[in-house]
Amino acid sequence: MTAMQAARKTLSEVFGYDSFRPGQESVVAAILQGRDVMAVMPTGAGKSLCYQIPALVLGGITLVVSPLISLMRDQVSSLLQNGVRAAYLNSSLTSRQYSLALDNARRGVYRIIYVAPERLLTDSFLDFAVNAPIAQVVVDEAHCVSQWGQDFRPGYLNIAPFIERLPRRPRVSAFTATATQSVRGDIMRLLALENPYAVTTGFDRPNLYLEVRREGSRDAALLRFLGEHRGQSGIVYCGTRKGVEEVAEMLVSHGIDAVGYHAGMGDEERQTAQEDFVSDRAPVIVATNAFGMGIDKSNVSFVVHYNMPKDLESYYQEAGRAGRDGEDAVCCLLYQPADVHLNTFLIEHAQENSQLDEQTQRIVTDRAKERLRQMTYYATGRGCLRAKILHYFGEEPERPRCGNCSGCLTGAQERDVTREAGRIVSGVMALGGRYGKALTARVLAGVKDARIKEKQLDKLSAFGSLREEGEENIRAMIDELIVDEVLDMTDGQYPLLRPGPRAKEALLGDEPIRMTLELRGQKTASRRVTMKPQADKGLLSRLTKLRRGIAEEQHVPPFIIFTNATLRDMAVKRPRTRREMMRVDGVGEGKMDRYGDMFLRVIADYLEEE
């Protein structure tokens, strides 16, 4: 049997899948051939199987360097459910537990060991590692090694020196979901990858519906969104701890089962909140970005960003925690201009206590501001949201409009707005930089409200100069002109609009300016819905109830037993025999032996009642 034949057998018998997902097979083959790997695969693409399968085929020990305790815990729990001996070594273990785990590792009990990067160069771990048959070192969330990335973690710089200390260099594999070209180069250099097989499977997640909502009240917008997705499980991300507490309290006051999660909470309180969400006791969790990177919950149906993150890397990684089971999911950003000012403030003060020299601090700050500018363009600009993300990560979309985002499902069209941009700049100058976006847009649209009459702004020549565009389109153009530095906003509680560094260029009209804007009076298109075989809802309900009971009895999250996608496939195929059950996606030999008969009995009882 060849190594790849053994890999396909492992995929089927251990993990319960008939075929690899896109990109997985070539990565597995490269690792089995002894090559280093640099793989960029989107969240939910199945990165873990790319190194877990070779770990079982190769023999020896696979070390997985991972950044979060919760990620290690869930990965190990899932492997144990599939009959794979695995362990983790991190600060959550007591000294006695850590010593026992290391003793077991020395005796060859584990095939896969997850370890925090800070542990690598400790005396106890090095003593184990230099005498162990380490066949593979895997670096998960590899972008954490780059200080130009969004999640730099100094402990990741220990990885290359650790590998150098080993008597025999193992295969080294690096995996990440979000990395620009420059960060990818950093990963390969800082991890000292040798002629790696480099693959980017594509950043697109077709099952995710991308949406930006720009509404006056974020609370009202969030409540409306949750009403549209009642009964589903999801994450609401807030930018601050205070925001988490206020939003969670607001949701609970409106009868929504929600829990809060942030790093300032006590360990026990935080753990309880996480367990309530993962076990589906609380369908909604409100959290800072401290939550989610290591949460392997597969049935997250939506992710809402109550505040705009500081960059597209953070946004797409967090949004990508929706729909990991392959089911349709929604990623919604609730944008307000104040987010730009908050993030700018945080960026400018982020390096105050750092040990970087002044020049490096300036470079880091400038790069962070550029990433914020791109994030703001995503939130405020018109056009296909998916295309914007793919362009940012250096990937060309298959078509200019995906048909599955709020940017596409509007009556919008790209056109030349050079003349309109000049009129907006003229209007801002006429207003003398004394007013914000909303009032400026109303003046240009020719809206005669009480304040405009009181200030006699209707007497200005700019009043009504863009009446044919309408207030909404004018505000959209102002947003994009801010991103393009044609206009600028002051800091403070009430930001004022003023000309930006490139205002003169727009006034002269020498360079054409194009934007995607709403066609007035055109109807919004319908959201695309992926057609899938329909699961028997009655049977699915019974299977879900059985899974919940088993999970509570074993004190593990329900998705560790079977994912939602597996239960749905079970309810579609309605297997009657063990052989038929093994054809359900996600049912391998380990889970068949452990749970298969229980689920077959429920299916048989249901079919008899029909």
Is the predicted pLDDT of residue 502 greater than 80, yes or no?
A: yes
Mean pLDDT of 524-547: 71
Are residue 93 and residue 186 in the same domain, yes or no?
Answer: yes
Q: Which amino acid is at 266?
A: G
Domain boundary among 357, 392, 427: 392
Measured CA to CA, the distance from residue 558 to residue 537 in angstroms comes to 18
Measured CA to CA, the distance from residue 140 to residue 245 in angstroms comes to 31
Are residue 361 and residue 494 in the same domain, yes or no?
Answer: no
Of 157, 115, 122, nearest in space to 137 by CA = 115
Is the predicted pLDDT of residue 378 greater than 70, yes or no?
A: yes
Mean pLDDT of 161-186: 91
The residue segments making up the domain with residue 480 are 417-516
Domain boundary among 172, 200, 228: 200
Collapsed DSSP state (helix, strand, coil) of residue 222: helix
Position 400 in a domain: no
Residue 529 pLDDT = 46
Of 303 and 275, the structure prediction assigns the larger pLDDT to 303
Of 94, 38, 87, nearest in space to 64 by CA = 87
Q: Residue 479: pLDDT band by 50, 70, 90 thresholds? A: confident
Q: Which amino acid is at 326?
A: G
Are residue 43 and residue 132 in the same domain, yes or no?
Answer: yes
Residue positions counted in the chain = 610
Are residue 450 and residue 473 in the same domain, yes or no?
Answer: yes
Residue 523 pLDDT = 45
Q: Domain containing 589 — which CATH number?
A: 1.10.150.80
Position 504 in a domain: yes
Mean model confidence pLDDT for the chain: 87
Are residue 168 and residue 71 in the same domain, yes or no?
Answer: yes
Mean pLDDT of 439-458: 92
Measured CA to CA, the distance from residue 518 to residue 269 in angstroms comes to 46
Is the predicted pLDDT of residue 297 greater than 60, yes or no?
A: yes
Contacts of 320 (CB under 8 A, 6+ apart): 42, 43, 44, 177, 205, 208, 331
Position 188 in a domain: yes
Under 8 Å between Cβ of 267 and 69: no
Are residue 191 and residue 215 in the same domain, yes or no?
Answer: no
Residue 462 pLDDT = 93
Q: Residue 150: pLDDT band by 50, 70, 90 thresholds? A: low
Residue 411 pLDDT = 61
Residue 532 pLDDT = 58
Are residue 144 and residue 237 in the same domain, yes or no?
Answer: no
Name the burial class of residue 295, with classes exposed (0-12), middle (13-18) and buried (19+) by CB atoms within 10 angstroms of its CB. Answer: buried
Mean pLDDT of 14-28: 90
How many separate domains does the chain show? 4
Measured CA to CA, the distance from residue 310 to residue 531 in angstroms comes to 35
Residue 296 pLDDT = 58
Mean pLDDT of 108-137: 94
Position 353 in a domain: yes
Is the predicted pLDDT of residue 173 greater than 90, yes or no?
A: yes
Is the predicted pLDDT of residue 596 greater than 90, yes or no?
A: yes
Q: Which of 166-180, 217-231, 507-521 has the lowest mean pLDDT?
A: 507-521
Are residue 170 and residue 260 in the same domain, yes or no?
Answer: no
Q: Which of 69-78, 383-392, 545-554 has the lowest mean pLDDT?
A: 69-78
Are residue 457 and residue 508 in the same domain, yes or no?
Answer: yes
Position 411 in a domain: no
Residue 61 pLDDT = 95
Residue 177 pLDDT = 82
Residue 525 pLDDT = 46
Is the predicted pLDDT of residue 499 greater than 60, yes or no?
A: yes
Q: Domain containing 360 — which CATH number?
A: 3.40.50.300
Position 528 in a domain: no
Are residue 361 and residue 334 in the same domain, yes or no?
Answer: yes
Per-residue pLDDT tens digits for 194-231: 999 999 887 888 899 999 998 778 999 999 999 999 88
Q: How far is CA 459 from CA 279, 470, 499, 585, in A?
A: 62, 19, 21, 69
Q: Residue 526: pLDDT band by 50, 70, 90 thresholds? A: very low
Domain boundary among 200, 223, 245: 200
Measured CA to CA, the distance from residue 600 to residue 579 in angstroms comes to 11
Is the predicted pLDDT of residue 524 greater than 50, yes or no?
A: no
Contacts of 122 (CB under 8 A, 6+ apart): none
Are residue 146 and residue 284 in the same domain, yes or no?
Answer: no
Q: Domain containing 504 — which CATH number?
A: 1.10.10.10
Per-residue pLDDT tens digits for 267-294: 788 888 888 888 788 999 999 876 655 4
Mean pLDDT of 293-301: 68
Per-residue pLDDT tens digits for 409-425: 766 677 889 999 999 99
Residue 531 pLDDT = 46
